[in-house]
């Protein structure tokens, strides 16, 4: 049964990836906004921002930009899932001998692949803009692991939106708050520079711990408790979103 589900997931993931390969503008569009933000903050606003450290501003703000890249990309997962729902593809799949879970996992894995490509593009542009790191291979793998976990957590949120939305605009609109969340965190300025209530929120929302962890890994510095808080947020969101998405999906296809 497990082998059957894995085979079905592989086939359906290949189907979804073909759509992306035929329209690479999806990945390009996802990367454009983060790259524009990097250009704006580094070359226009960066000189006026005091981060309290000696590192270059591109090094400081890149972790937040990577999270914005992922938050932008998962909107397309909700969009594609909504179109499949409206197009009756799920009904056709119900009449076929395939594992039901493979339909959702195909969308999730497609999101993971496309978002990691977008992240790689953004990192490439950041290197051209002066980003430098002394991170070891192990640190890079840790960063990749956190970004993958973050992508999976947000993608399952996107699945909920795609299954629940009434309109195509509603399917992708849920991602807007997620895109703006890094702006109220330590991604662009230290939280200590913010007013009291805003600083409290910034310190206790998930993006700050994730950004601080990635920043520490890139700088080859101890991540402290931030890494455990970041992992707890990602795993917690992933677990809750997965269970909610699975429940909604069962009610839709039953």
Percent of the chain scored above 90 by pLDDT?
Answer: 43
| Of residues 144 and 174, more confidently modeled | 144
Q: Other C-beta atoms within 10 Å of 23: how many?
A: 11
What burial class does residue 199 get, using C-beta atoms within 10 Å of its C-beta: 0-12 exposed, 13-18 middle, 19+ buried?
middle
- CA distance linking residue 27 with residue 136, whole number of Å: 28
The answer to whether 212 touches 187, Cβ cutoff 8 Å, is no
Structure tokens at 160: 């909920």
Q: How many domains does the chain have?
A: 1
Contacts (Cβ under 8 Å, ≥6 apart) of 198: 184
- The pLDDT value recorded for residue 99 is 61
Residue 122 has pLDDT above 90, yes or no: yes
List pLDDT tens digits, range 63-110: 999 999 999 888 888 888 887 777 666 556 555 556 666 778 888 888
> Across residues 49-55, what is the average pLDDT?
73
**What pTM was computed for the model?**
0.88
- Structural domain boundaries enclosing 74: 2-253
């Amino acid at each position: 049964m497990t082998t059957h589900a894995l085979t079905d997931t592989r086939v359906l993931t290949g189907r979804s990836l073909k759509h992306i390969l035929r329209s690479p503008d999806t990945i390009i569009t996802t990367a454009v906004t983060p790259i524009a933000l990097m250009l704006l903050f580094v070359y226009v606003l960066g000189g006026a921002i005091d981060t309290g450290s000696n590192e270059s501003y591109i090094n400081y703000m890149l972790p937040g930009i990577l999270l914005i890249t992922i938050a932008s990309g998962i909107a397309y997962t909700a969009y594609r899932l909504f179109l499949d729902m409206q197009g009756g593809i799920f009904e056709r799949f119900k009449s076929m001998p395939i594992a039901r879970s493979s339909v959702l996992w195909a969308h999730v894995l497609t999101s993971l692949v496309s978002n990691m490509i977008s992240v790689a593009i953004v990192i490439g542009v950041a290197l051209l803009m002066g980003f430098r790191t002394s991170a070891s291979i192990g640190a890079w793998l840790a960063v990749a692991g956190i970004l993958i976990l973050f992508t999976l957590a947000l993608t399952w949120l996107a699945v909920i939106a795609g299954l629940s939305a009434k309109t195509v605009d509603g399917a992708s609109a849920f991602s807007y708050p997620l895109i703006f969340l890094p702006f109220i965190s330590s991604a662009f300025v230290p939280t200590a520079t913010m007013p009291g209530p805003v600083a409290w929120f910034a310190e206790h929302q998930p993006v700050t711990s994730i950004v601080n962890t990635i920043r520490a890994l890139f700088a080859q510095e101890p991540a402290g408790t931030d890494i455990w808080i970041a992992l707890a947020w990602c795993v917690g969101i992933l677990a809750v979103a997965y269970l909610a998405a699975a429940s909604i999906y069962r009610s839709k296809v039953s």
